[in-house]
Structure 1
Amino acid sequence: MERDRDPKECRRALEEACLEFASYGITSVHTCSAGSYGLGDDLAAYQEMRLEGALPLRVVFYTDDMPPAGFLSGLGDDWVRFGGFKLFLDGSLGGRTAALSRPYADAPTTSGILNHEDHALMATMEEAHRRGFQMEIHAIGDAALDQAIEGLRRIKSLGPGRFSRPHRVNHVMICRPDQVEPLRELGVVVDVQPAFVPGEITMATSRLGEDRLAWAYPWKTFVDAGFVVTGSSDCPVEVPSPWRGIWGAVCRTDDEGRPAGGWTPEQRLSLDEALTLFTVNPPLAVGEGGRRGRLTPGFLADVVVCGEDLFALPQERLRHVIPRATVVGGKVSSGELEGVERL
């Protein structure tokens, strides 16, 4: 259960976090108020900051509690908007609670844990779809992904919900080749965390064994198959800086640059592909691709100004990029930019 928190302390913490995020060049966040896991965010604090003009980034929030009647995905404005409903199908690879279709290589008595019985999960997914909620589905292991695919097939057969936008599958760290096309046919957004790889190469190899590594963290597979793929940090699991994620997507090494050439290097992304994960695609995931994510006339003026050419940098330096300025809605939220008003 979520503990009681002092609203003033919550507000102070959110202000500090938002300013830190802005310093990394972040202009919007997708956040999950997962109260059942003790990860609740105080929506009131976001709203207060927005009304006072003190919110330095845009917020799309999800909840793992079924929202009240009257909510639809997209409710809100350009600054604070309801994204949808989050479902946790399994746990983590490190904790051996991610649900795998075969036992763990380093713990052959377990295959992980599915959090929901099939019939209960289907009922929940059908209700969320019927009520107009975009679902963000946490599925790390391939057995959890099987369950997600089956549920999404079922709700697709029901026709569009009250508010039509693609559902999202989060993490998808283990995806068998036979799952790629069924997932693509469902039209889902795939949310991945490239910053995980530097710290998880040894762990993932131990958990999966060499024969399943080709299925692990398969970002290039998703990009080449035509998915809308978004990049995230999963903060506070990893640091919130997108630059560490961009570096992780391009290099796929640990912090010492090992292994040379990258871990399962066929899944490395180009810099252009990695940048797309963190710029163009997140607005597409929440139905705002026609208004945000590109430097295009008529789009919201959310801009990150870098002091160096990213494409000329040695790739290992991408994780250390510090933007010169961050602009949200045409105003500077972090750094300095001559002639541009501060937020």
Structure 2
Amino acid sequence: MHSPTAPDATAMAVTDGTVVWLGQDSVGRALHPDAEVVELDGAFVAPAFVDAHVHATSAGLLLTGLDLTGCASRAELLDAVRAAPGSLVWGHGWDETRWPDQRPPTRAELDRAAGGARVYLSRVDVHSALVSTSLVELAPGAREADGWSDTGPLTRAAHHHVRGAAKDALPVEQRRAAQRAFLRHAASKGIAAVHECAGPDISGRDDLADLLALADGPEVVPYWGSLEHVDLPVRGLAGDLFVDGALGSRTAALSHPYHDRPDTSGALYLDAEAVAAHLVACTEAGLQAGFHVIGDAAVAAVVEGFERAAAAVGVPALAARRHRLEHLEMVTPEQAAKLGSWGVVASVQPLFDAEWGGPEGMYAQRLGVARGTALNPFAHLAAAGVVLAFGSDAPVTAVDPWAAVRAAVHHRTDGLGISPRAAFNAHTRGGWRAAGVDDGVTGTLQPGAPATYAVWDAGQLEVAAPDSRVQRWSTDPRSRVPALPALDGPAPTCLRTVLRGRTIYERE
């Protein structure tokens, strides 16, 4: 159990969804003789994970629809489209940087494979997409919009037009089924809460309303990525409120051109003035603000926006709102120090570095090795006092919390990773803090904390006692070992996920 108040505890008791006691199993049985006891047979218990950045419908469609993440070539992608049933083919996950010729299909090639079907295939970063001509016909504004291409992937505003058309063509029940599939999948990974980063250009109001109506899985913390309010109970006007785009699609805003495309420096959608205005408005309204920010030019605009906002409302008021930044990949130690002083939360994705970091990865292709190996500096952010909250950005990377913890520890660039304990905290307590829950106990296991935890198969660990139990009891072999489960071996298997005393997942 992750309990600073009882590091040697081997059992806990829960009443009405709250942890009421921790200690030794024998003592617990004497104190709670009528407790329901659940046998764990050597499993261990820890606070449940929080995924601080997801897109539930898109991630669910990856589970229920066309998964292109394993395509190793353009030909494989086109074969997958040919085999896909239905008049609307929604796929995700292609990454041309891993293909032999590093070229995505042309629209003509996609049309031949589609056979007249409407096709929307988002790139792995979801900032560009391959689309069929029949889908473009449903989005006439795309041809005149920024980011239009007659032959290749669509980006920027043109992408938003066709994505909106694809969303509108998606049957409502298919959308809801995708959401349910995603939430079930998240719970099976030991996740008890997800931060849904919705918005008018991402998913839409009805999509978010349907998601919030689902009540039998992980808690959904909703964000709306817009400068404008929405008539839903969102946590803040934050999440994917785009200051820029993504590196893979070359739309992240850079201070110097892309290494592999010197004719472009990306796209800046909001400047420092707009950032400051949004921060001031949200601070004065008692709301959490936030932005999607990746490139160094975008980070510079955000930092300047925070400086202007601090001058307008004062640092205490600004810091009290715990405004958040999504991704925050190209940030310097000096900028991190400023963000820490303003109480900023960094909602970051360690699997980005695992997927695209290092001297041979996509970041280095796009930015050159010097710039491309300095991204996602978790150590600098943590040292500056920035609250770290880990997530997947599903469907961009897999919902795999233990892999994310491992990636944060074993960063591809020496000196940028953090300790196992800090990484685990960022994926548990950090997610609750990012959502404004900072009571000192949520996200831990100690008396007074919500009983939100996951039970894990500890087959690779030394078992503390042969009669390991939980009940609202739970035993924890980790109390007998110096650290978290080995991050270099097989990941633990989730046996049960519990949210405030209610089981939301149980492995059969």
TM range (shorter): 0.7 to 0.9
Other-structure match for 1:130: 284
State the TM-score, normalized to the length of structure 2.
Answer: 0.57
Contact 1:132 1:162 in 2 (8 A): no
- The more displaced of 211-220 and 322-331 is 211-220
Aligned residue type for 1:286: A
Aligned residue type for 1:210: V
**Whole-Å separation in 2 of the counterparts to 1:214 and 1:336:** 39
Pairing of 1:99-138 with structure 2 (within 5 A) = 99-138=253-292
Other-structure match for 1:84: 237
Aligned residue type for 2:178: A
Instruction: Give the aligned length.
Output: 314
Contact 1:251 1:316 in 2 (8 A): no
1:64–1:206 CA distance, 2 compared to 1 (3 A): same
Aligned residue type for 1:97: T
Q: Which among 32, 40, 44 is matched to residue 197 of structure 2?
A: 32
Q: What is the RMSD of the two structures over their aligned residues, measured on CA atoms?
A: 2.7
Aligned residue type for 1:84: L
Q: Counterpart of 2:346 in 1: which secondary structure? A: strand
- Say whether residues 1:325 and 2:475 are aligned partners: no
- Say whether residues 1:231 and 2:390 are aligned partners: yes
1:181–1:49 CA distance, 2 compared to 1 (3 A): closer
- Runs of 4+ with deviation above 4 angstroms: 38-41, 160-164
Deviation (angstroms), 1:163: 11
**Whole-Å separation in 1 of the counterparts to 2:456 and 2:269:** 43
- Say whether residues 1:293 and 2:446 are aligned partners: no
Higher fraction of strand:
2
- The more displaced of 305-314 and 266-275 is 305-314
**Whole-Å separation in 1 of the counterparts to 2:487 and 2:356:** 20
1:31–1:48 CA distance, 2 compared to 1 (3 A): closer
Gaps of 5+ in 2: 1-160, 462-477
Q: Counterpart of 1:158 in 2: which secondary structure? A: helix
Gaps of 5+ in 1: 76-80, 253-262, 338-343
- Say whether residues 1:197 and 2:353 are aligned partners: yes
Question: For residues 54-111 of structure 1, what are the alpha-carbon distances to aligned partners after superposition, in whole Å with 9 as ceiling and x for unaligned?
Answer: x21111111123454887xxx5xxxxx6343342101111122111222222222322
1:182–1:82 CA distance, 2 compared to 1 (3 A): closer
**Whole-Å separation in 2 of the counterparts to 1:323 and 1:94:** 32
Deviation (angstroms), 1:44: 2.9
* Higher relative contact order, structure no. (Cα contacts within 8 Å, ≥ 6 residues apart): 2
**Whole-Å separation in 1 of the counterparts to 2:271 and 2:318:** 26
Question: For residues 99-128 of structure 1, what are the alpha-carbon distances to aligned partners after superposition, in whole Å with 9 as ceiling and x for unaligned?
Answer: 122222222232221112444444444333
**Whole-Å separation in 1 of the counterparts to 2:494 and 2:253:** 39
**Whole-Å separation in 2 of the counterparts to 1:11 and 1:107:** 40
Question: For residues 162-207 of structure 1, what are the alpha-carbon distances to aligned partners after superposition, in whole Å with 9 as ceiling and x for unaligned?
Answer: 9942100111111123322222222201111001122202111122
Q: Counterpart of 2:504 in 1: which secondary structure? A: strand
Other-structure match for 2:344: 188
Q: Which among 220, 236, 241 is matched to residue 59 of structure 1?
A: 220
Aligned residue type for 2:201: S
**Whole-Å separation in 2 of the counterparts to 1:266 and 1:109:** 32
Aligned residue type for 1:196: F
Deviation (angstroms), 1:8: 3.1
1:152–1:327 CA distance, 2 compared to 1 (3 A): same
1:327–1:173 CA distance, 2 compared to 1 (3 A): same
User: Identity across aligned pairs (percent)?
Assistant: 31
Contact 1:85 1:133 in 2 (8 A): no
Aligned residue type for 1:232: G
1:39–1:195 CA distance, 2 compared to 1 (3 A): farther
**Whole-Å separation in 1 of the counterparts to 2:410 and 2:186:** 23
Other-structure match for 1:11: 176
- Say whether residues 1:249 and 2:408 are aligned partners: yes
Aligned residue type for 1:158: A
Aligned residue type for 2:290: E
**Whole-Å separation in 2 of the counterparts to 1:172 and 1:163:** 18
